[in-house]
Every structure is written in C-alpha cells, then in structure tokens.
C-alpha cells in the first residue's frame, strides 16, 4: 500500500515538473487561455442590417452559436462570416530598428520572421513596412506585392532610439483613404524614446482608426511591456513577449492566425428609439457589450475619455526642469541689466569722451576717487582681465581691438571687452547646446556668439565713417571760411568744433585737445583720418601739410577739395541708385531658397526631412549652399564700383 502511495506521489511530482518545464518553454503571452470576444465596430447606418464586426479567439466551431441582444432583447442575426471574406486586410509591420536590436541577433531574426509572415499572407492582404529607430520611416507602403515587401525588409538597418508612439501614428496614417481592415503588428525590444506624441495620443489615434494592434515584445533589459499592453488592450489586440528572439517566428504565426479570427454578423434593429442602443454578443460563456446610435457607425475599440492631443514636438530640453531654472536665471540677469541701464541713463555715463577730455579742455578737475569706470570690479575679474589683456597684447590682437572700439566710438577698455566677449560667447554656446539638445547645436550658437559682436562693432564703425564722409565737404568749406576771416588753421579747427555735429565734432574736439597737449596739428589731423579710415580726409591732411611747407592760399585749396568731394559723393550716389536693382536681386536670391526651405519645413516637415536623412541629400545641400555663396559674391563684385 505504501509503495502504491509513493508511486502516486512520484508520478504526481513528475507530472508537475513536466508541466512546469513545458510552461517555461512556451513563450509568455499577455492574454489568458480563456477565449476572448471583442466587438470592434457597429455599423448602424442601415437599421434593417446593422453590421457588427467582432474578434473571437476561441474555437471557430463555436462561432455559429453567436447570440445577439439589442437592449437586452435577443434579435435574429445572420450567420457570422470571416471578415477577410468580405473586405481586404491591411497590415502594417512596425519593426523596432533601434541600436539595441543588434543584441543577440534579434534584428536579423525579426527580419527573417517578418519575411516568413509576408510569404504566408493571403493573396488579397496588403502589407506595409515601417521602421522606427533614428526616425520613423516607411520602407514600403500598403501593397500586395511580396517581392516589394521582401526587398523593403532587406533594406532596413539599425540605429537610434525607439519612437514607438510616433510609429503608431505613422502606421495609422497609412490607412487614411483606404477601405482596408486596419491591423498593426508592432515589434519592439525597449520602451518609447524620442516620440513627439504621448501614449494617450497614440491610444486615441488607434481608437479613432478602428485599428487592431498586436504587440510583439523581446524581453530585453530595457523592455517595457506595460506601454505595449496598454496600446494593444485599448484596441482589443494582444501582446506576445519572450526573452528569446527565436520565438518571433512563432509569434508572427500566432498573429497570422489571429488575423483570421475576425468575423462579421448583421441583424435587424428592433428598437424605435433615437438614442444610443446597446448590443451584446455572446458565444458560449463569453460575451462583450457595445453601443451605437442608429444611423451612424460606432467604434467600440479603444473608446477613451477625450484627450487633447497636444503638439509635443520641438526641443525636448526646452520642456525640462533644467531649462526652467536657466530661463529664470536669464530673466534675473535681464532685469539686473535693465535696472543698470536705466540707472546709467539717469546718472550719466562717466566713461564718455567728453568727461575724459574735460581736464584738458576746461582746466584741471579733481578726480572722483569714489567712481570707477571699470567693468571688472572684483579682484578675481581684474586678474582675469589682466591676463587676457597680456595674452592678447603678445599676439598683437589688443591693438586691433582698441582700433575697432575707437572707430565705433565705444567707451570700453580693450582687455575688458575681449574678456567679457569670450566669456559671454562660451556661456551662450553652453546654453545653446542644452536648449538644442546636442553638441552641434552648441557649436552653432558658439559660432554665432563669436561672429555677431565683431559684426556689430564693424557696422557701427562703418555707420560713423559714412556720417563723417558726408559731413566732410561742409567741414572743409567751414574751415575755408574761417581762414578767409583771418583765423589761423588752429583757430579755425576750434571754431569748427563748436559748429559741426557728431561724429565730426567729437573728432575735432580731440584734435584740439591733442594739439594743446603738444602734438603737431598735422599729426593730430592725420590720427583722425586713421581712426575714421577716411582716404578723403587723409588727402586733405596731406594737402594742408604740403601747403604749410610751400605756401599758398589754403582757403582756396580747401574749397577745391570740398568741391571735388561733393562731385565724387554725387557720382557715388548715382552709382548706388543705378546698382540698387542688382543689390536687391542679390539679397532676394540669397534669402529666397533658405526662406522657402523653412516654409516647407513648417508646412510639411516630412517632405523635406528626407533631404537630411541621406548622404546624397547633405551633399546636395552643401553643394547648393556653395553655389549660392559663389553667385552672391559674384553679383556683389559686379555692383561694387569704386569711386
């Protein structure tokens, strides 16, 4: 008796062990072994034939046992038929092409399994191939051609993140304008990364499209089955997962079988109510319930509370907490700078040239020991500025910066300007890298930060020089008048300094101050021509120097020079008028391609993104940019006529 008991126990243990081993060998399924009945849609446009589409995962022999109830009352219905006998199926194979798919040869196994799925499809099935990695790309649109699909699968490669929700959006878009039964088979080994839409938005898109989603998951270290199951459960689909990529072939076979488990049945509505009607389908002990409004089509799959699908694209770093604190810090700095600027406008700028020249023009004034016009007030900043100035002076850069600031009339110390210029440029480059989410963006902002300030200084100097050139003939005529009145040249310069306007007034005041300090008048005037980079004034100074050596009527000489300058200025203006069309053409032709590119990107990003996804596209962009630059320079040389 004991032996019999022991044998029974041993047999039971063996059976349990065998069952456990078999369960361990079977891939994990998200669904239970119980059959499922899911109503996909109810078409109530014709009350005499309300058509119901449903999914049944149980024994097909039980399908004829379908019982239909409307508002709790059993109604006569037609014999259920397979949905693919009435309508063609559309299937999107969305395959994860992220870098993690290279592990364990998962990607190639997935491609082989998908290829077998394509070869086993029904003749009327239309399949599309979508890959999502660095970007979401449609490798093949919906087509029934097996060779096209196999070729598309062979062209897929790995790399990038996992924009799974964007892949769902792209898959749903492929069914727009078709009468196909929408199905999506989504394979991934990770969690969503880099999508521009949220999970709720993806679920809403699936619900509105009436698509059935099957999720295939490779259980890797970064795999998130929860999000995949939420997508599938919202559509009435299912999820199959395993940590073995070799199970993918069986997964695709399972999906192929489930695609044929969709049925359709119709019944005559017995309700006279205008409101919503409830439909209950029952097969055996399994049932599902949905509602529809007579005269309309209702999708009962993925029905959710309304969720606003916000545009979540753009720069991801802008949506982070780090950016919030950076923005707050920049706001504080901006407010401080605004307060400082307002205070300086009220109390005056102690660094102005008039204040610097005041001790020499109005007599000795005791210095204000309390004031300090240096930007760097702390010891650390002063030391850093000093080191920057020494290094720039060794390189010969400091003198050029002083000349640039002097020509632009910017009351800044060269060493301080250089130090804060470098610090600000580097800081903007780092912030730009954080905002644009990459090193390339940071380098781009850094280049702009280094290029823009010198450009502004050059523009200010050019504007000041142009104003000086315009005032120069009148200045010479005024000097000639003072000489005819009996003034000496020095007295004439002092008198003219009181009558003319900026920037000529400031330069003449500086000439007077330097002459009072002992500098020869010709040398002081020559310094003006160097600061203003004026060849006309340089010739004037040379004429004055020659006249003072050999004698002659200086007033007549200055009148002649002034008349010559007026004639040249008149000719220059005529040339500018005649070449205006060429300048405008160069500007328009230079801006138009860039502006059209940005407009296309704003209206239809997918249309232009292909240009930047391929190497050939980048070559074309760089080549076109080079040709545009060459054409712009060529047109500029044509219209640049020196007078």
Q: What is the pLDDT of residues 190-208, one digit of tens each?
A: 788 888 888 888 888 887 7
Comparing 350 with 80, the larger pLDDT belongs to: 80
Confidence class for position 335, pLDDT limits 50, 70, 90: low
Question: What phi and psi, each to the nearest 5 degrees, are found at residue 67?
Answer: -120, 130
pLDDT at 101 over 50: yes
pLDDT at 130 over 90: yes
Give pLDDT tens digits for 507-544: 888 888 888 888 888 888 888 888 888 888 888 888 88
Distances in whole angstroms, Cα of residue 116 to Cα of each of 89, 123, 245, 532: 17, 14, 15, 79
Residue 166 contacts residue 198 (beta carbons within 8 Å): no
Structure tokens of 115? 């290829």
User: In percent, how much of the chain has pLDDT > 90?
Assistant: 4
74-83 exposure pattern, b = at least 16 Cβ within 10 A, e = fewer? ebebeebeeb
Give pLDDT tens digits for 580-630: 888 888 888 888 888 888 888 888 877 887 787 778 888 888 888 888 888
- pLDDT of 354 reads 53
Residue 235 contacts residue 206 (beta carbons within 8 Å): yes
Give pLDDT tens digits for 275-326: 678 889 898 888 888 888 777 666 554 443 333 333 444 444 444 555 555 6
- pLDDT of 339 reads 53
Q: Which long-range contacts (CB under 8 A, 24 or more apart) does 121-126 make?
A: 121/91, 121/146, 121/256, 122/84, 122/89, 124/84, 124/88, 124/89, 125/84, 125/88, 125/89, 125/90, 125/91, 126/88, 126/89, 126/90, 126/91, 126/180
pTM: 0.43
Q: Is 225 exposed, middle or buried (0-12, 13-18, 19+ CB in 10 A)?
A: middle
Give pLDDT tens digits for 143-190: 988 888 999 888 888 887 888 899 999 999 998 888 888 889 988 887
368-376 mean pLDDT: 48
- pLDDT of 128 reads 93
Confidence class for position 573, pLDDT limits 50, 70, 90: confident
Residue 63 contacts residue 286 (beta carbons within 8 Å): no
Strand order in the sheet with 50-56: 81-82, 262-267, 50-56, 37-43, 297-299
Beta-ladder partners of 581: none
Residue 500 contacts residue 475 (beta carbons within 8 Å): yes
Q: How many CB atoms lie within 10 A of CB 12?
A: 10
């Amino acid at each position: 008796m004991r032996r019999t008991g022991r044998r029974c126990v041993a047999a039971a243990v063996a059976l349990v062990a065998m069952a456990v081993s078999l369960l361990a060998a079977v891939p994990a399924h998200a669904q239970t072994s119980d059959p499922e009945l899911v109503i996909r849609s109810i078409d109530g446009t014709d009350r005499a034939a309300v058509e119901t589409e449903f999914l049944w995962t149980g024994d097909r022999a039980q399908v004829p046992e379908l019982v239909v109830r409307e508002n709790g009352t059993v109604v006569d219905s037609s014999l259920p038929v397979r949905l693919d006998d009435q309508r063609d199926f559309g299937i999107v194979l969305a395959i994860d092409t992220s870098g993690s798919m290279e592990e364990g040869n998962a990607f190639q196994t997935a491609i082989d399994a998908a290829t077998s799925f394509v070869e086993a499809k029904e003749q009327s099935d239309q399949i599309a191939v979508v890959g999502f990695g660095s970007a979401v790309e449609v490798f093949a649109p919906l087509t029934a051609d097996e060779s096209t699909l196999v070729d598309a699968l062979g062209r897929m490669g790995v790399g990038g993140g996992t924009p799974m929700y964007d892949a769902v959006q792209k898959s749903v878009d492929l069914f727009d304008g078709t009468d196909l039964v929408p199905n999506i088979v989504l394979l991934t080994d990770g969690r969503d990364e880099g999508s521009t839409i949220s999970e709720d938005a993806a679920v809403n898109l699936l619900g509105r499209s009436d698509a059935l989603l099957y999720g295939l998951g490779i259980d890797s270290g970064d795999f998130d089955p929860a999000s995949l199951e939420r997508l599938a459960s919202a559509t009435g689909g299912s999820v199959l997962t395993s940590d073995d990529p070799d199970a993918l072939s069986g997964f695709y076979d399972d999906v192929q079988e489930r695609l044929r488990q969709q049925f359709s049945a119709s019944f005559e509505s017995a309700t006279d109510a205008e409101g919503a009607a409830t439909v209950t389908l029952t097969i055996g002990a399994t049932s599902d319930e949905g509602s529809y409004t007579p005269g309309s089509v209702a999708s009962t799959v993925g029905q959710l509370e309304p969720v606003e699908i916000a545009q979540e694209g753009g720069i991801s770093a802008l949506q982070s907490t780090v950016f919030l604190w950076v923005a707050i810090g920049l706001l504080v700095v901006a407010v401080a700078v605004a307060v400082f600027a307002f205070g300086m406008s009220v109390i005056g700028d102690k660094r102005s040239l008039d204040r610097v020249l005041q001790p020499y023009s109005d007599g000795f004034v005791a210095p204000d020991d309390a004031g300090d016009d240096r930007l760097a007030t702390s010891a650390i900043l002063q030391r850093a500025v000093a080191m920057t100035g020494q290094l720039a002076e060794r390189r010969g850069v400091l003198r050029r910066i002083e000349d640039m600031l002097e020509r632009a009339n910017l009351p800044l110390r060269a060493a301080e300007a250089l130090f804060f210029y470098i610090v600000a440029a580097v800081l903007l480059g780092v912030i730009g890298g954080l905002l644009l989410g990459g090193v390339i963006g940071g380098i781009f902002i850094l280049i702009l930060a280094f290029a823009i300030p010198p450009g502004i200084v050059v523009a200010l100097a050019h504007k000041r020089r142009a104003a000086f050139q315009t005032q120069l003939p009148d200045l010479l005529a005024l000097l000639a008048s003072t000489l005819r009145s009996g003034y000496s040249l020095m007295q004439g310069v002092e008198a003219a300094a009181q009558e003319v306007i900026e920037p000529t007034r400031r330069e003449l005041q500086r000439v007077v101050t330097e002459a009072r300090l002992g500098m020869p008048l010709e040398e002081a005037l020559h310094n003006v021509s160097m600061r203003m980079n004026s060849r006309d004034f340089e010739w004037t100074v040379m004429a004055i120097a020659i006249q003072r050596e050999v004698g002659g009527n200086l007033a007549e000489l200055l009148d002649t020079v002034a008349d010559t300058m007026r004639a040249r200025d008149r000719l220059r203006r005529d040339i500018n008028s005649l070449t205006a069309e060429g300048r405008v053409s160069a500007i328009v032709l230079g801006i138009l391609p860039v502006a059209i590119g940005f407009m296309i990107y704003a209206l239809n990003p997918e249309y232009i993104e292909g240009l930047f996804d391929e190497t050939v596209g980048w070559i074309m962009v760089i080549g076109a940019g080079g040709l545009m630059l060459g054409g712009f320079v060529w047109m500029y040389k044509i219209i640049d006529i020196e007078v």
